[in-house]
C-alpha cells in the first residue's frame, strides 16, 4: 500500500489525482502532517509526500530503522515539477515509484542512486536473492574496476559491465556457499523439489526432509524455485505449508503426466496410491533438468531435487519508424533489460544510447535476416536475455517471423509491438486507412512475383486501400509500375495516392498525388506508397478514406 500525505491545497490536489488513478494501491492520510507521516510509515510499504524534502527528512529521521525494513519514500514539490526518490530507492522501490508518479503527474523523476544514475542495474534489484558485499561490488562496477561474473548456473541477467577476471566477483550459484569479502552471490531459482507425502504428513517432517536433502547436497534453499507434486496431493496440508514456509509456489501435475517421466527409482506404492510409479522424482524432472538428489524418504514423505535448465528470454522488439518519440516505453524497457542485442547495424545505431553498460551487441548488414534470427535464438538458448530488433513493427515484414520459425518451447519469447510504416505514413498523409486496407511488399526476394501480382489483383478487385512496402529499388524498378497498372484497371486515374519517404525521421518528405500522376521513378526503398480505394478523397490536401461507403457526394467537399 502507498500512503499519500499532503499539507497544502496544491499538494492535496496532486495527492487526489494520484489516489484517483491508483485507488487499489493508495491510502490517503489526513490530519496533522507529523502524525500522518508516522502512521503511514508504520502501515505502508511506500509513501508519497507532497511536501518539501527538508520537511520530510526531519519528519522521517526519528522513524528510520534499517535499510531493508524502511518503506520507500518519494517527495513531490508544491509545483508538481519533481518527484524525488528520497528513501529506499532500491529496497523500498522508491526509484521506480518516482518514475511512475512522475509519468502520472507530469513531474520529472529525480533519482540519485549511483547505479541508476549511470544506467547500471542494482545488484539488489535483479529479482534474485543475494548475499555478500553488494555496496563494495557495486562501487567497483561504478568505478570501472574489473568485476568478474562467475556463472555456475546459466541464468538470464540484465547487462552488467563484467570481465573474465577481477578483484571483485558476482557469483551466480545455487550452491550453499559463503560469499567472499569482495563477492556477491546471486541465487537463481534453478532448483525444483519434487515432493510426495502420505496423508497427514506433518509440515515439519516435509520441510525437514527437503532442507536436509538440500544441505547434504551442498545446495541452498534460496535457489528453490518451486515445489512440485501430483494433483492428488495439491491440498495436502504438510506439502502446502512447506511451500509457504519456503516462499515458493506449489505446482501439481496429473498422474498420467508423471507416469510418462522416466525415473531411476520407480515404486509400486505410489502407483497403487495415486496412479504413477513416481511422484517426487517425476514431478521434479517434468520439464527437464539434472537430477541432483534422487528420491529420499522419511517416515511419511519423499523428495527429490532437480536443477532445471535455464530458460533464456528472447524479446522481438519493433523500434518504430525511426523517431525516438515513436519508440514505445515497452520497447525501451526491453532494450535496457537485454544483455544481448541482435540487429541490423543501422538499427543498432538508432538505439545504442539506450543500451546499458555491458550490453553485448551482435550486429550485421543488410541481407542477413535469417542469420540474425538464428543468432538471437541461439543466444537465448544459451540462457541470455536477448533483444532482437527491427524497424517498424517486428511482426510486419521484419524479424519476428524468421525468429519464431527458429525458436522452440525451450525459451521464453516476448513480442514488443512497434509503429509500423503504414501507420506512420498514414498519420502523415491524413486518414487513408480509415476503412479496410492491406499491406503488400513488392520485393520478390522471398516471394515469387506471380504470388505478389495475384495479391495485388485481389486487393484491386476488393476495393481495398493498398500500402506498398519495399516498392522500388535500383535492381527492382518494374514491379511498382506493374502494380499501379493493375490497380488502375479497377480505379479512376484521379484516385488519391500518398507517398511518404523516411516517415518520422529528420529528412521526412511526403506528398499527395493521384494514380495517374505518380511517377514511379520518384520512389525508393525508403518510401511507403498508399493507394486509396474508390471512396478515398483529398480534403484540404489530406487523404481521407471514410469509415463507411456512404460518401455524401451531394455535399460539397471542403477545400
Instruction: Please measure the distance between the N-terminal and C-terminal CA atoms of the chain and give it in whole angstroms.
Output: 56
> Do the bridges between strand 224-230 and strand 250-253 make them parallel or antiparallel, or are there none, so unpaired?
parallel
> Do the bridges between strand 385-390 and strand 340-344 make them parallel or antiparallel, or are there none, so unpaired?
parallel
CB 528 within 8 A of CB 503: yes
> Do the bridges between strand 340-344 and strand 360-364 make them parallel or antiparallel, or are there none, so unpaired?
parallel
Q: For position 556, what pLDDT does the model report?
A: 44
Place of cell 522508491: 94
Pull the grid cell for residue 389. Answer: 530488433
DSSP state of 242: H
Q: Does 559 score more than 50 pLDDT? A: no
Q: Which of 355-369, 399-413, 480-494 has the highest mean pLDDT?
A: 480-494
Tell me the C-alpha distance between 543 and 235, whole Å. Answer: 63
Picking from 221, 70, 226, 244, the residue whose alpha carbon sits closest to that of residue 131 is 221
Tell me the C-alpha distance between 221 and 205, whole Å. Answer: 16
Q: Tens digits of per-residue pLDDT, 11-63?
A: 888 888 889 999 988 999 988 889 998 999 889 999 999 988 888 899 988 88
pTM for this entry: 0.73
Q: Tens digits of per-residue pLDDT, 112-125?
A: 876 666 667 778 77
SS3 sequence of 526-558: CEEEEECCCCCEEECCEEECCCCCCCCCCCCCC
Q: Tens digits of per-residue pLDDT, 86-97?
A: 988 877 888 889
User: 502: phi > 0 → left, psi -120 to 50 → alpha, else beta; which?
Assistant: left
Q: Does 549 score more than 70 pLDDT? A: no
Q: Tens digits of per-residue pLDDT, 152-195?
A: 988 888 888 888 888 999 999 999 999 999 999 999 999 999 99
Cα–Cα distances (Å) from 311 to 162, 372, 386, in that order, read 21, 20, 11
Pull the grid cell for residue 241. Answer: 505449508
Tell me the C-alpha distance between 410 and 407, whole Å. Answer: 8
Q: Tens digits of per-residue pLDDT, 464-516?
A: 999 999 999 888 889 999 999 999 999 999 999 999 999 988 899 999 999 99
Q: Tens digits of per-residue pLDDT, 265-274?
A: 999 988 888 8
Tell me the C-alpha distance between 37 and 41, whole Å. Answer: 6
pLDDT, mean of residues 238-256:
95
**H-helix or E-strand containing 436?**
none
Tell me the C-alpha distance between 231 and 234, whole Å. Answer: 5
Among 152-166, 172-186, 381-395, 435-449, which stretch is predicted with the lowest mean pLDDT? 152-166
Q: Give the Cβ contact number of residue 406 at 10 Å.
A: 17
CB 383 within 8 A of CB 310: yes
Amino acid at each position: 500500500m502507498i500512503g499519500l500525505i499532503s499539507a497544502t491545497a496544491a499538494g492535496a490536489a496532486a495527492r487526489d489525482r494520484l489516489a484517483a488513478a491508483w485507488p487499489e494501491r493508495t491510502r490517503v492520510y489526513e490530519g496533522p502532517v507529523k502524525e500522518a507521516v508516522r502512521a503511514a510509515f508504520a502501515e505502508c510499504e511506500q509513501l508519497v509526500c507532497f511536501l518539501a524534502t527538508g520537511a520530510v527528512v526531519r519528519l522521517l529521521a526519528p522513524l528510520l530503522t534499517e535499510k531493508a525494513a524502511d518503506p520507500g519514500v518519494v517527495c513531490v514539490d508544491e509545483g508538481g515539477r519533481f518527484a524525488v526518490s528520497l528513501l529506499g530507492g532500491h529496497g523500498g522501490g522508491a526509484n521506480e515509484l518516482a518514475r511512475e508518479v512522475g509519468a502520472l503527474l507530469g513531474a520529472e523523476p529525480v533519482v540519485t542512486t549511483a547505479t541508476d544514475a549511470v544506467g547500471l542495474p542494482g545488484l539488489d534489484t535483479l529479482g534474485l536473492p543475494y548475499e555478500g558485499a553488494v555496496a563494495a561490488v557495486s562501487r567497483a562496477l561504478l568505478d570501472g574496476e574489473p568485476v568478474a561474473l562467475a556463472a555456475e548456473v546459466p541464468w538470464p541477467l540484465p547487462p552488467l559491465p563484467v570481465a573474465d577476471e577481477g578483484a571483485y566477483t558476482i557469483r551466480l550459484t545455487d550452491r550453499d556457499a559463503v560469499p567472499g569479502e569482495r563477492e556477491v552471490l546471486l541465487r537463481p531459482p534453478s532448483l525444483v523439489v519434487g515432493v510426495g507425502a502420505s496423508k497427514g504428513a506433518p509440515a515439519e517432517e516435509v520441510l525437514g526432509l527437503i532442507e536436509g536433502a538440500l544441505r547434504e547436497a551442498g545446495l541452498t534453499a534460496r535457489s528453490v524455485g518451486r515445489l512440485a507434486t501430483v494433483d492428488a496431493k495439491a491440498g495436502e496440508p504438510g506439502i502446502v505449508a512447506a511451500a509457504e514456509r519456503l516462499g515458493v509456489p506449489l505446482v501439481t501435475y496429473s498422474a498420467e503426466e508423471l507416469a510418462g517421466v522416466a525415473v531411476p527409482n520407480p515404486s509400486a506404492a505410489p502407483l497403487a496410491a495415486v496412479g504413477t510409479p513416481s511422484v517426487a522424482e517425476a514431478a521434479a524432472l517434468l520439464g527437464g533438468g539434472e537430477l541432483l538428489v534422487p528420491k529420499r524418504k522419511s517416515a511419511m514423505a519423499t523428495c527429490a531435487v532437480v536443477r532445471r535448465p535455464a530458460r533464456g528470454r528472447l524479446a522481438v522488439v519493433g523500434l518504430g519508424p525511426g523517431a525516438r518519440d515513436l519508440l514505445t516505453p515497452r520497447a525501451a524497457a526491453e532494450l535496457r533489460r537485454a544483455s544481448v542485442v541482435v540487429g541490423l547495424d543501422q538499427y543498432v545505431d538508432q538505439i545504442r544510447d539506450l543500451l546499458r553498460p555491458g550490453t553485448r551487441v551482435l550486429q550485421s548488414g543488410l541481407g542477413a535476416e535469417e542469420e540474425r534470427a538464428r543468432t538471437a535464438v541461439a543466444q537465448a538458448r544459451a540462457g541470455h536475455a536477448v533483444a532482437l530488433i527491427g524497424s517498424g513493427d517486428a511482426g510486419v515484414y521484419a524479424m519476428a517471423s524468421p525468429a519464431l520459425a527458429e525458436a522452440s518451447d525451450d525459451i521464453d519469447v516476448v513480442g514488443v509491438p512497434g509503429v509500423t510504416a503504414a501507420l506512420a505514413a498514414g498519420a502523415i498523409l491524413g486518414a487513408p486507412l480509415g476503412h479496410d486496407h492491406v499491406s503488400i511488399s513488392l520485393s520478390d526476394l522471398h516471394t515469387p512475383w506471380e504470388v505478389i501480382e495475384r495479391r495485388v489483383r485481389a486487393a484491386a478487385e476488393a476495393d481495398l486501400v493498398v500500402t506498398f512496402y519495399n516498392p522500388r529499388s535500383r535492381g527492382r524498378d518494374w514491379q511498382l509500375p506493374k502494380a499501379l497498372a493493375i490497380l488502375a484497371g479497377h480505379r479512376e486515374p484521379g484516385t488519391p495516392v500518398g507517398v511518404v519517404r523516411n516517415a518520422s525521421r529528420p529528412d521526412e518528405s511526403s506528398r499527395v498525388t493521384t494514380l495517374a500522376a505518380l511517377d514511379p521513378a520518384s520512389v525508393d526503398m525508403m518510401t511507403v506508397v498508399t493507394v486509396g480505394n474508390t471512396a478515398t478523397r483529398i480534403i484540404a490536401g489530406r487523404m481521407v478514406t471514410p469509415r463507411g461507403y456512404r460518401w455524401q457526394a451531394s455535399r460539397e467537399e471542403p477545400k
